[in-house]
Structure 1
Amino acid sequence: MQIGCCWFDRQNKQLIDQSKDISWPLNDQEYWVLEQLVLHRGQVVSIHQLELPSMNRTTMIKIVDSFIQFLGKEHASLLEYIPEQGIILYKNATSQPSSLMMSPLGPMSYSKYLIVMLLVIAGCVYAYSGLSTTSYIKADYSEQILSKQGGLTQLLVYAADDEQHKLNEKIDFIVKHIKSCDAIIWQSITLALSSDKLSFSLVMKQQTDASWLYHNVKLSRAYLDQKWLSAEWLKEVHICD
């Protein structure tokens, strides 16, 4: 089943981006949502119909939002959220922008949407300026990570005030989890640790045909031994596909 530039492989439960030659192995919840939208293509599928007993509305909307991101700008309008009704998967891309105005709590007003877009643009400018500055500084740790799909991602770590052997132990732990990803869409991931090691920032970037795509994540911990890294967390912050 063709969806924009993607192919929905029902047998293997995958969504395949043919233009980028990457695939997204769907879990049971993701497969259920996409299957219902495909079966009722061109029709509004109610929120109630899309929800499973183990899936709430917020999770369902996050799944739909992930589909929109995977489809890319050119085909994102194939999916639209109809307030108080449900989700529709069009047969052809439309010019309606309402699908970009979804939030986990419901539809977003146009004024709020503009504010969010301005914040996103400001964040991208900040990330770009930060990357431009650090590009002249040698990273404390650098490694090429090969995903299961065969893609290469450059990991750069900045933590100059940490002892090298301690840093290596921490990074090896992080690299081990990232390598378990089925697919990583990012060309580079930059990790900056705070001086007290209780928080860190991640800046991910990927070059597309038209421009650069950025994604920022910041994590704060209450104490050093607090566990935070897991396969679920890597997917939640969009490091893993």
Structure 2
Amino acid sequence: MRIGDCWFDPTNGELKHQRDDKRWHLPRAELHVLNTLIAHQGSPVSKFDLRGGDDEYPPLSDSSVARAVCMLRSYLGPEHELLIETIKGKGYLLHSQTPSKSAKQASPRWRYCYWRWLLSAGLALLVMASLYYLNHHTDPTPSEPVANQVLYTQSGQQLQLMLYANSRTNNQLLMQQAEVINQAMQTCNTTIWHEVYASLSHDKQVLNMTLRGESKGQSVVRNLKISDARQPKDFINKVWLQGANLCG
């Protein structure tokens, strides 16, 4: 069957350009859309009917139908792309003869179709790249504490003290603060806290503490930041302890 300057071979699913003998083996979507348009030549065919689908292949999406029409028009060339007309609100119609419009009028429409297809392909590649990244880049491994100590209250209740630092060297100041926290917890008869996390800022001017525990059947979290720019450091002192009430 002749379509514009091309000959369509439905058996092999090919379009052959008669001028330069170029051949296009049509992908499934383009082949299905063209066969359906030929079967209803001269009448509009809705996008829904062009989607098709059977026991072997699932239906095409609306975007796949639109992309297939764009590619078929590009195969036919700017002189005959209007053989496949868009009927607003109805779908697409295959003419038996190219409507009488000059190639100059048809060309911008072909370019628009081509660039829309490129945009769709680019978006699809972006989605695939994002999925690949998510599947091959797992979440970073949580930092391991530089030290893990068990603290005791007066009643023998246990809680965990975990110290975090940028490295496992030169953490003398952090260890000193851990001893002060240990002594402070020993003054408590009982405590609502189960875990204490401590770390120093990069400039060692701020001691960060996070306490996690349970009170009245509900989880409790408390965050503390203690600043001290003096030398030597005295982050935790008696006055601060009285106000902070680490026992909870």
TM class, shorter-length: 0.3 to 0.5
Structure number, greater radius of gyration: 2
Scaled by the length of structure 2, the TM-score of the pair is 0.40
RCO higher in structure (CA 8 A, sep ≥6): 1
